[in-house]
Amino acid sequence: MTNNLYVYNTLTREKERFEPLNPPFVGLYACGPTVYGDAHLGHARQAITFDVLYRYLRHLGYKVRYVRNITDVGHLENDADEGEDKILKKARIESLEPMEVVQHYMNRYHENMQELNLLQPSIEPRASGHIIEQQELIRKILDAGYAYEVNGSVYFDVIRYNETNHYGKLSGRKIEDLLSNTRTLDGQSEKRNALDFALWKKADPAHIMRWSSPWSEGYPGWHLECSAMSTKYLGMQFDIHGGGMDLLFPHHECEIAQNMAGYGQPSVKYWMHNNMITINGQKMGRSLGNFITLDQFFSGDHDLIDRIYPPMAIKFFILQAHYRSPLDFSNDALQGSEKGLLRLLKATGEIDSLQPGPTSSIPVNDLISSCDKAMEDDMNTPVLIAHLFDGVKWINGLSEGRHTISKEDLVKLKSLYHNYVYDVLGLTKSEAPDPGKGITGDLVEMILQLRSDAKVNRDFETADRIRDSLTSLGITIKDKKEGADWEIN
C-alpha cells in the first residue's frame, strides 16, 4: 500500500507523510459527542471532518478501524430542594434517570449524523460502558506514581509528571506559563496543584451517576475515557487521533499525559484537529443566543437563519473550507454553497448520459491528478471541490456539444466524480436540496417537456390529458411565460 498523503500533525506542527504503524490497517480515534444536548454546527464539522478522513483512507485501500466515543457520564444531579430523604424514598421509576436523557440525545445525534450521510464508526464505545477499563488505567497511573488519592478522589499529578515528561507538548505550552496563568488554590480544593486534574471523583450525595471503585463510589474524570477506550480498541499505539481544536487543551494534553504515565509510551502518531465555526463572526455559545442546533438548520426554526437548510447543504458548506481553517456561518454563504452543491450533483448525474467521441478535447488526466493532489495535501477539500467545479464546466460543455471526450476518458471522468463526490465526500443525490423532488421532480419535468412539445405540435388533446393526469396524482401545474411551474400538493 503506497500513498502520497500528507497530514498536518498538531504534535509536530508540520505536514507529515502518512505512514501507518501496521499497514494495511489504520486505527482512527475521534472524540464524539457529549450526549446531554442537541448537536450543533460544531458537532457537524468535527464529525464530517473525520468521516471524510475515514472514507478517504478506505478509498486509498486501507482497512480502517474507526472508533468514535460517546461521552455519557454526565453530571446530572437530583433536585437539591427535595432533600436527600425524599430522594431515597422515591421509587426508582419516578426519579430522573440520566441514562434516559443519554439515550434520547444519543438517538437524536445518530439521526443527525445519518441525515448528514456519515458512515457509522466501526465501534462507538460509551464512557459509562468502560468504567472497569478506566479504573484499571487509574490503578496503573497510581502505581507509576503519577497520581494521588485524597478523600476517595484520585488526581493526576501534573507537576510530578512534568519532571520527566513535557506537559504541554501537544498544545505548545510550558508548565511555567500555565502555572503563572492559573489561579492559586483557595484552600478548599483537594488538589495539590491547580493544574492537576481528576481521574476519579467521589460522588457527592446528589450526584446520580456513580459506580463502586477501590477509592469511593464515584465517577471517572472526563479526560480518562478516551485514553482507556482508544487503548482498548486500537492498542497502546495507534495512528490517528482526531478532534476539534477546542479539545486540544486540556483534553488531549491530559490524554497524552495519562497514556505516558499509565502505559509508559506515547499513544498517537498523528494528532489532527479541525478548526471551529463562528456564527456571523461571533463564537457560538448558548449565552450569546447564536447556538443553532442541526435540527434547527434542517427545520429553519431559529431567528438567525433565513430558511430551511437541508443536511447536504450544511455538509457541503463545511467541506468548502479546509478543516484547519476557521469557518464563519452566514445565510449568504450557506445559500451560495447550496447552489454550488446542486450544480455539482447535477453535473455528476449528467456524466452517465454523456456519449463518447473519438478524441478528448478536455484534459481528464490533469483533472484527476489535480483532485488527487488536493486530497493528498492534508485533505484539502475546498481545493478538491474547486477542481471538481472546473470539471463541471467541461461536463456542461460535453452535454452541449462544445467538447468531446474519448470512451476511455469518459470512464475515468465518471469514476473520478463518483469516487470523490459520492464515496469520499459522501454527498448524496437523494438528500440534496428541494426535498420531495429528486427523481420525482425529474420525472415531472420530463412530463412537462412532453406536454410543451405537444403544445408546439398543436396537439392540445395530449397536453390537456397530461395536465389532467398530473392533477389526479396531486400535482398542480401553473403555466407561466417561461414554461410551467409545478408543485406536489
Give the span between the Cα atoms of 450 and 190, in whole angstroms.
79
Among 453, 464, 485, 487, binds a copy of itself (CB under 8 A): 453
Residue from 94, 186, 204, 303 touching a copy of itself (CB under 8 A): that is 94
| Interacting residues with a copy of itself between 176 and 215 (CB under 8 A) | 211-212
Span interacting with a copy of itself, options 22-30, 290-298, 330-338, 367-375, rule CB under 8 A: 22-30
| Interface with a copy of itself, residue 220, by CB under 8 A | no
Give the other-Cβ count within 10 Å of 298's Cβ: 19
Stretch of 34-42, 44-52, 199-207, 443-451 contacting a copy of itself, by CB under 8 A: 443-451
**How far from 458 is each of 393, 452, 453, CA to CA, in Å?**
36, 10, 9
Residues 364-393 that bind a copy of itself (CB under 8 A): none
476 part of the interface to a copy of itself, by CB under 8 A: no
Q: Does 401 bind a copy of itself (CB under 8 A)?
A: no
| 329: β partners | 279
Q: Which is nearer to a copy of itself, 124 or 246 (CB)?
A: 124
**For 185, which DSSP code?**
P
Cell 488531549 -> residue? 252
Region binding a copy of itself by CB under 8 A among candidate stretches 219-227, 241-249, 318-326, 461-469: 461-469
* DSSP alpha helix (H) spans, 264-404: 294-299, 311-319, 331-350, 364-376, 381-399
By rule CB under 8 A, what count of residues binds a copy of itself? 57
User: Which of 125, 220, 262, 340 lies at the binding interface for a copy of itself (CB under 8 A)?
Assistant: 125
> Which residue lies nearer to a copy of itself by CB, 73 or 279?
73
Sorted by sequence, the CB contacts under 8 Å of residue 191 that are 6+ apart come out as 150, 155, 185
User: Rule CB under 8 A: is residue 136 a binding residue for a copy of itself?
Assistant: yes
Q: Helix (H, G, I), strand (E, B), or coil: what is residue 485?
A: strand
Report d(CA 439, CA 223) in Å as an integer: 47
DSSP state of 203: P
Closest to a copy of itself by CB, 167 vs 222, is 222
| Closest CB to a copy of itself among residues 347, 371 | 347
Half-sphere exposure of 151 (CA within 13 A, CB side): 10
- When binding is defined by CB under 8 A, the residue of 21, 80, 159, 411 that contacts a copy of itself is 21
Asked if 152 is part of the footprint of a copy of itself (rule: CB under 8 A), the reply reads no
SS3 446: helix
Rama region for 83: left / alpha / beta (φ>0; ψ in -120 to 50; rest): left
Here's the x/- map for a copy of itself, 321-360, by CB under 8 A: it reads as -----------------------------x-xx-------
Residue 127 Cα distances to 71, 123, 176, 318, 476, angstroms:
5, 13, 32, 28, 53
* Binding flag, residue 450, a copy of itself (CB under 8 A): yes
Rounded CA gap, 483 and 244, in Å? 48
What phi and psi values does residue 63 have, to the nearest 5 degrees? -95, 100
Region from 269-277, 324-332, 377-385, 470-478 binding a copy of itself, contact rule CB under 8 A: 470-478
| Backbone phi and psi for residue 138, each to the nearest 5 degrees, phi listed first | -60, -45
Residue 464 touching a copy of itself (CB under 8 A)? no
What spatial distance separates the first Cα and last Cα of the chain, rounded to whole Å?
Answer: 54
Q: Would you say 153 and 193 are in contact if contact means Cβ atoms under 8 Å apart?
A: no
Q: What does each C-alpha distance from 374 to 369, 378, 427 come to in angstroms?
A: 9, 8, 18
Q: Is 36 in the site for a copy of itself (CB under 8 A)?
A: no
Query: Measured from the CB atom, is 120 or 280 closer to a copy of itself?
Result: 120
Rank residues 132 and 206 by Cβ distance to a copy of itself and give the closer one.
132
Using CB under 8 A as the binding rule, whether residue 60 contacts a copy of itself is answered as no
Examine residue 27 and tell whether it contacts a copy of itself (CB under 8 A).
yes
Which residues contact a copy of itself (rule: CB under 8 A)?
21-22, 25-27, 65, 91-94, 97, 99-100, 103, 107, 120-126, 128-132, 136, 211-212, 233-236, 238, 350, 352-353, 439-440, 442-444, 446-447, 450, 453, 462, 466, 468-474, 488
